[in-house]
Amino acid sequence: MNAGREPTRIDIVETETEADAVPVWLGRPAQGDGTCRGGYGAAVVAYYGADCAYCGRDLSETYESWLDLSVDHVVPRNAVGAGFPAEWIEDLHNHVPCCRACNEFLNGFRMATEVPADIIGFLALRDSVLEAKRARAEDRHRRERQNYQRWKAGSR
Ligand SMILES: [Zn+2]
């Protein structure tokens, strides 16, 4: 209609395109029977696959490996006490499949950080915490493997 109208329409289209790319909360994983392998673990595996998020072990390969399936809150639950909304911590975005060994190794993981402003800040934090936990789990696996090899050599 007039010269000013066209750019406005384009702006709206661009805004809608960006909105499509904005991440949304996924909600709490379906709980099933409330256990990991009979419940929420299935929802987490359906979303992420069955490899341990920290050491990469395939937890679906055999029945025995499946018994080692657990689920980890990447940003730890204790963050709720530091002011993080519980819905963020319990969202599927913050859950990953994890082997029981890595889960044990990462017990007591603490982080000191400001509460992010929004989901984009939270997902960036989750990614950096995931990297930090991967490094910690890798280091711990290295030490445990040395312990195992020493033990194995000494028991012969
Ligand atoms: Zn693992």
Q: Tens-of-pLDDT digits for all 156 residues of the chain?
A: 444 444 444 444 455 555 567 899 998 888 878 888 888 888 999 999 999 999 999 999 999 999 999 999 999 999 999 999 999 999 999 999 999 999 999 998 888 889 999 999 999 999 999 999 999 999 999 999 999 999 999 976
Say if 84 falls within a structural domain.
Answer: yes
Split into its structural domains, the chain has a count of 1
Structure tokens at 26: 């996924």
Å from CA of 114 to ligand 1 middle: 28
Cβ(111)–Cβ(76) below 8 Å = yes
- The token pair at 19 is 């909105």
Q: Has residue 90 been placed in a domain?
A: yes
2 within domain boundaries: no
6 domain-assigned: no
Ligand 1 centroid vs 8 CA: distance in angstroms? 51
> In angstroms, what is the span from residue 25 Cα to ligand 1's centroid?
26
CA of 140 from ligand 1 middle (Å) equals: 10
Give the DSSP H or E segment for 155: none
